[in-house]
Amino acid sequence: MTATRITVRGETPYDVVVGTDVLTELPGLLDAKVRTVAVIHPAGLPEIARPVRETLEGAGFEVVALPVPDGEEAKSVHVAAELWSAFGRYGITRSDAVVGVGGGATTDLAGFAAATWLRGVQVVQVPTTLLAMVDAAVGGKTGINTPEGKNLVGSFYPPKGVLCDLATLTSVPREDYVAGLAEIIKGGFIADPTILMLIEDDPAAARAPEGEHTRELVERKIRVKADVVGADLRESGLREILNYGHTLAHAIERVEDYRIRHGEAVAIGLVYAAELSRLDGRIGRDVVDRTRSILESVGLPTSYRADAWPRLREHMRVDKKARGAVLRFVVLDGIGRPARLENPSEELLEAAYREVAR
């Protein structure tokens, strides 16, 4: 089957290439002037970077492999500084490139390192997990974490291209693959209800990378994000809808010290956002029930412990979506109709959480 090219428009357009065994497309995503490519990948997964290195070397590029810690441990100032030092040692110039290979944490870090080295060298993302393919690697958001919160330091820096080779998904642990479905489901609730129907039609198939609708689900979610970020790269308006479910999700990740999968936290956050929407009189119980049902049908969590609320509320105060002292949530006025809720009352916030903690 041929590759699908989804264009992310805006000031600096780029393509997201989706298909099976499409690694040969990688050299064509780089500028012809590039000589050296720094390939950033998780240290614990050298095998996922090997085909990328071999493809680039076969195309005549000089390749430098730069392993980084696995998962969220990679997204620190310390690791970013080590990459900057490596770029200097290997003579990475503005006419060279960075390729990020791995999950969302790796692509976030690679994008940030590329954006900040010499005030910007080109980066191509090669996501290898479902979550990274449908969310983290697309859209140009780069970032690292601080003790105060997730992704509080970063930049908007569009990649030169994104390559989603669906063949890599077959080696992803099942729990990680299922966690990635949370972002796809989010896309269904904020923009593309067909996503929800495809999952409801066969939840068991949705849980497997070999499922009948896998490619369609991936492409539909990427198109949702491409449409949004193409119109609003810097989150000045429309792009905020992509944060549906994420205010609570990021707080949960902080409470769990990032030991919970991002998609699992997002799943709980989606239920919370739906309950906020219902209690604010925007949607009915049916949408909340459908949210829980779809998430549970693929094995995602829909509740969190009651005693965590004080700490969660404190972490929300430094959420990126806040403006001054005003806390902002993305809510629903209906399926496919996202909206903003600004400065909700403490009573409303806590009442919605009680529903999540039931």
- Residues annotated catalytic, as ranges: 119, 141, 183, 225, 235, 239, 243, 246, 250, 262
* 302 is annotated as contributing to ligand binding: no
* 350 is annotated as contributing to ligand binding: no
Burial class (CB in 10 A: 0-12, 13-18, 19+), 199: buried
DSSP summary character for residue 2: P
Which tokens is 107 given?
């692509």
* 347 is annotated as contributing to ligand binding: no
Burial class (CB in 10 A: 0-12, 13-18, 19+), 146: middle
d(CA 181, CA 40): 25
Q: Which residues contact 155 (CB under 8 A, 6 or more apart)?
A: 111, 112, 115, 116, 142, 143
Pairing of strands 141-146, 149-156: antiparallel
* 141 is annotated as contributing to ligand binding: yes
* 107 is annotated as contributing to ligand binding: yes
Pick from 105, 138, 74, 49: which is nearest to 263 by CA?
A: 105
* 106 is annotated as contributing to ligand binding: yes
* 75 is annotated as contributing to ligand binding: yes
The 10 Å Cβ neighbour count of residue 161 is 22
* 246 is annotated as contributing to ligand binding: yes
Pick from 282, 255, 281, 221: which is nearest to 269 by CA?
A: 255
Q: Is the dihedral of CA 267, 333, 194, 221 positive or negative?
A: negative
DSSP summary character for residue 338: E
The two counts, helices (H) then strands (E), for the chain are 14, 11
d(CA 116, CA 314): 30
Per DSSP, helices labelled H in 241-303 are 246-255, 262-279, 285-297
DSSP structure string for 126-176: EE-SHHIIIIITSSSEEEEEETTEEEEEEEE---SEEEEEGGGGGGS-HHH
* 104 is annotated as contributing to ligand binding: yes
* 33 is annotated as contributing to ligand binding: no
* 24 is annotated as contributing to ligand binding: no
* 72 is annotated as contributing to ligand binding: yes
Cβ proximity of 122 and 134 under 8 Å = no
Binding site for NAD(+), by residue number, is: 70-75, 104-108, 128-129, 141, 150
Feature table: binding site for Zn(2+): 183, 246, 262
Binding-site residues, please?
Answer: 70-75, 104-108, 128-129, 141, 150, 183, 246, 262
